[in-house]
Amino acid sequence: MYGHCYGCKICNGRACGSTIPGPGAKGVGDVAIRNYDMWKQVRLNLNVVYEAGPVSTEVNIFGKDMAAPIFAGPVGAVQLHYGDKFTEFEYNDLLIKSCIEAGIIGFTGDGTDEQVLRAAAGSIAAAGGQGIPTIKPWHLGTVGAKMALVKGAGAFAVAMDVDAAGLPFLKGKNPPAGPKSQEELIEIAEMADRPFIVKGIMTPRAAIKAVKAGAAAIVVSNHGGRVLDQCPSTAEVLLEIAEAIKGSPCLVFVDGGIRDGVDIFKAIAMGADGVLMARPFVNAIYQQGYEGVLSLVRRLKSELEDTMLMCGAKTIAEISKDMVRIPKLWQHYDAEGN
């Protein structure tokens, strides 16, 4: 156990429940559990009647060659949530560098303590800009200052977790932090002046606004259940969101309860271009440090390869919706909520 985390073998939100500070979820704590459970409701169509050949999980995202479409998700304020084992800088440094060696990319987090983003920017600068800082939805003036910090670090892309509007510590801020309009997102994307990623999209309507604001990618995410109790899992809304912005240049990433290569395959089949995983990378680092990340990515990649082989996809681009069975009960909504 580290801090408030039990370091469970299967990180499914059950043991940590609603523990915040700690890795838990808000309210009754069932959104993190639902995130995990709903990927398991999607089943795979086993199909090995095809001409065999090498299977590759490699992709190119934002001009970066990646070993697989996997990102380490942003986790800010690690000392608050996980205790004193690592400082903010040590955690980010281990994460960003090990992700690079593993052939993937790490996101970093933000917090009320300005040292959190400062440490993240330091780690990304030390890695030649090969990481994605995630700025909270502060007042635009504060966003401007934080944007200057991460651009100074040479970050090749920048994200904003707009859903952090639901974190208790952002409430009552002066100047006010919180939801961002399409016009404000346009301004923030212009400030970023590099691929800008909007994290925390859970409806087609919000996705369309992010696209109109010029987002290079959205992350379908409910912040691991930490910002709004009783919302659906990300698996349940992924398909309708991906369909709503199909044909736009905006990429779709997803996170929440994705724990193995099989889940990654399902997410891609349902319209994602890549996935983020947050808590599993924390566990990897707290349990085994740098080597923990390398071994986690090796496992994910090999599970993804195996699933591709068994479902008939030789490349990530070949993974398609007909390779999975999605529960019919999952009602779909369009941008008008119909």
Ligand X SMILES: Cc1cc2nc3c(=O)[nH]c(=O)nc-3n(C[C@H](O)[C@H](O)[C@H](O)COP(=O)(O)O)c2cc1C
Q: Annotated active-site positions, please?
A: 223
Question: What CA–CA distance (Å, rounded) separates 35 from 32?
Answer: 5
- Binding residue for ligand X, selected from 29, 69, 106, 109, defined by CB under 6 A: 109
Closest CA to 106 of 250, 277, 316, 300: 277
**Does residue 266 belong to the site contacting ligand X (CB under 6 A)?**
no
Question: What CA–CA distance (Å, rounded) separates 205 from 335?
Answer: 5
Three-class secondary structure of residue 21 per DSSP: coil
CB 164 within 8 Å of CB 135: no
- Binding residue for ligand X, selected from 165, 237, 251, 277, defined by CB under 6 A: 277
User: Which regions of the chain does DSSP assign to beta strands (E)?
Assistant: 43-44, 59-61, 64-66, 70-72, 105-108, 132-135, 158-161, 196-201, 217-220, 251-254, 274-277, 324-325
Residue with tokens 């993804």: 304
CB closer to ligand X, 47 vs 287:
287
Residue 89 CA to chain centroid, in angstroms? 20
Binding part of the chain for ligand X, among 47-55, 273-281, 290-298, 328-336 by CB under 6 A, reads 273-281
**Does residue 75 belong to the site contacting ligand X (CB under 6 A)?**
yes
- Binding residue for ligand X, selected from 199, 209, 266, 301, defined by CB under 6 A: 199
Closest CA to 154 of 134, 126, 135: 126
Question: What CA–CA distance (Å, rounded) separates 238 from 203?
Answer: 9
Min. distance of Cβ 83 from ligand X in angstroms?
12
Question: What CA–CA distance (Å, rounded) separates 122 from 243?
Answer: 37
- Binding residue for ligand X, selected from 76, 122, 133, 195, defined by CB under 6 A: 76
* Number of Cβ atoms within 10 Å of the Cβ of 92: 31
Residues in region 152-171 near ligand X by CB under 6 A: 161
CB 76 within 8 Å of CB 271: no
Binding part of the chain for ligand X, among 178-186, 190-198, 249-257, 316-324 by CB under 6 A, reads 249-257
Here's the x/- map for ligand X, 54-73, by CB under 6 A: it reads as -------------------x
Min. distance of Cβ 21 from ligand X in angstroms?
8
Binding part of the chain for ligand X, among 59-67, 123-131, 222-230, 308-316 by CB under 6 A, reads 222-230
- Binding residue for ligand X, selected from 26, 70, 79, 81, defined by CB under 6 A: 81
Three-class secondary structure of residue 174 per DSSP: coil
Question: What CA–CA distance (Å, rounded) separates 53 from 49?
Answer: 12
**Does residue 223 belong to the site contacting ligand X (CB under 6 A)?**
yes
CB closer to ligand X, 127 vs 276:
276
- Binding residue for ligand X, selected from 92, 134, 233, 283, defined by CB under 6 A: 134
* Chain positions contacting ligand X, by CB under 6 A: 23, 35, 73-76, 81, 109-110, 134, 161, 199, 221, 223-224, 226, 255-258, 277-279
